[in-house]
Amino acid sequence: MDAYINEWVNLFIRWFHLIAGIAWIGSSFFFMWLDSHLEQPSSSKKDVEGELWMVHSGGFYQVEKKLIESKNMPKVLHWFKWEATLTWISGFCLLVVVYYLRDGVYLIDPSISDISVQSATILGLATLFVSWVLYDLLWVSYLSKYKAICNFICTLYVVGLCYGLSQYLSGRAAFIHIGAMFGTLMVANVWMRILPAQREMIAATKEDRTPDYSLGKKAKQRSIHNNYMTFPVLFIMLSNHFPSTYGHSLSWVTLLGIMLAGAGVRHFMNVRNQFSGLVLVSSIVIFLGMFFMTAPLPSKKDNVVVSELAKQGYHHVSSKGCFTCHSVDGAKTIGPTFKGIWGRVEELTNGEKFIVDANYIRESIEYPKKKFVKGYPPVMPVYKGQFTDSELEAIVEYFKSLK
């Protein structure tokens, strides 16, 4: 697809995806909040489990949580299922448009693996669907009685998958596929486990049968899984703006760390006790760990004596936020890596080839719109007037040290 058309298609699907996602996650947060704020009903209302009053935009609302009986079956019952479905469909389209239809620009990274775009696409798609089958089989199996064992198996699976994908796909694509995998589990949980259970409960009530309460319990379990997946998934959806996370050489560790910490924060919000306090503290420690782990350090290659000038150069580059788009360890993020930049043969979008020298580096920083390196989007900000001559000299010196 033409890159320009692709960009507009991307824009509209992404916009749609965000709106659907807000509606889905928003309604799910709202119901969680409702459940945890219900008050005891006045004694006159027998079938009411809890109630609460709210005010919003000048209107007053009273909500009652009821046990359903055949005599009080409502004529119209609102379900919240399309938000999840539309989020998944738009997310899947986005995956296709951004990752599968762009000659692998974002999907693969030749510095990581020489997998073909087709194989990477199959690997990505398989991740989504095979994971659901395995996850669902586990949680309907006999083993599902032992929650701790199942949770442990799922954790191992996710660790393995994060590591495995990061060996074949680009860091960014590995992240997004883990997010899309969780999104798929969440939507499949809604459609294949939660909604059928609710339907069965309603049908039983209508026919005056005793509903199979175990179905409700199992649906609740899937709902809890979905709840813990929300924060990790939302992080992953934002992660493509943060190359220091997916561009790190151990990107699978950053991914696992941030997901774990996100789920920990979610746990703290769900359950308030001493143990959840500990979980919150651990999450903060993990976030700090990831913060330090991804810090861009000057190259520490042995036998390279980093001069004082190069160190200053590092500080100028670091303080201007260049590392949000450029890595120093060879990872391809938004811009070309700084590793080995000095003397590298670079090709421009117009096909011209040349060797990177001091003039080119200075020009790239002050007038990035003059020349564009092939294979990268033209998004480098203009830094004219932000560095003095001697600062630019220090940056060049720093780049020379990144062998």
Q: Which residues bind ligand HEC (CB under 6 A)?
A: 317, 320-322, 324-326, 334-336, 341, 346, 356, 361, 364-365, 368, 372-373, 376-381, 383, 395
| 204 vs 373 by CB, closer to ligand HEC | 373
Tell me the closest approach of the beta carbon of residue 238 to ligand HEC, in angstroms.
Answer: 16
Burial of 221 (0-12, 13-18, 19+ CB in 10 A): middle
Q: Is 212 left (phi over 0), alpha (psi -120 to 50) or beta?
A: beta
Report the distance separating Cα 166 and Cα 182, nearest Å.
16
| 64 vs 352 by CB, closer to ligand HEC | 352
* CB contact set of 144 (below 8 Å; sequence gap of 6+): 138, 150
CB 101: neighbour CB atoms within 10 A?
Answer: 17
| 105 vs 181 by CB, closer to ligand HEC | 105
30: tokens are 């709202």
| 104 vs 335 by CB, closer to ligand HEC | 335
Tell me the closest approach of the beta carbon of residue 343 to ligand HEC, in angstroms.
Answer: 11
Tell me the closest approach of the beta carbon of residue 85 to ligand HEC, in angstroms.
Answer: 35
Tell me the closest approach of the beta carbon of residue 299 to ligand HEC, in angstroms.
Answer: 15
Report the distance separating Cα 107 and Cα 124, nearest Å.
9
CA atoms in the 13 A half-sphere facing the CB of 197: 17
Tell me the closest approach of the beta carbon of residue 280 to ligand HEC, in angstroms.
Answer: 33
| 209 vs 370 by CB, closer to ligand HEC | 370
| 195 vs 358 by CB, closer to ligand HEC | 358
24: tokens are 């889905």
Report the distance separating Cα 43 and Cα 272, nearest Å.
28
| 35 vs 363 by CB, closer to ligand HEC | 363
For residues 232 and 182, the answer to whether their CB atoms sit within 8 Å is yes
Amino acid present at 371? K
Closest to 17 in 3D by CA, of 78, 100, 79, 96: 96
For residues 52 and 34, the answer to whether their CB atoms sit within 8 Å is yes
Buried b (16+ CB within 10 A) or exposed e, 253-279: bbbbbbbbbbbbebbbbeeeeeeeeeb
376: tokens are 């990268």
| 77 vs 345 by CB, closer to ligand HEC | 345
312: tokens are 């200053």
Tell me the closest approach of the beta carbon of residue 376 to ligand HEC, in angstroms.
Answer: 4
Tell me the closest approach of the beta carbon of residue 121 to ligand HEC, in angstroms.
Answer: 24
Tell me the closest approach of the beta carbon of residue 385 to ligand HEC, in angstroms.
Answer: 12
Tell me the closest approach of the beta carbon of residue 199 to ligand HEC, in angstroms.
Answer: 49
| 135 vs 387 by CB, closer to ligand HEC | 387
| 21 vs 336 by CB, closer to ligand HEC | 336
CA atoms in the 13 A half-sphere facing the CB of 111: 14
Buried b (16+ CB within 10 A) or exposed e, 314-341: bebbeebebbebbbbbebbbbbbbbbeb
Tell me the closest approach of the beta carbon of residue 348 to ligand HEC, in angstroms.
Answer: 8
Closest to 181 in 3D by CA, of 244, 123, 129: 129
Amino acid present at 301? K
Tell me the closest approach of the beta carbon of residue 344 to ligand HEC, in angstroms.
Answer: 6
| 86 vs 365 by CB, closer to ligand HEC | 365
* CB contact set of 111 (below 8 Å; sequence gap of 6+): 330, 331, 332
Report the distance separating Cα 173 and Cα 99, nearest Å.
7
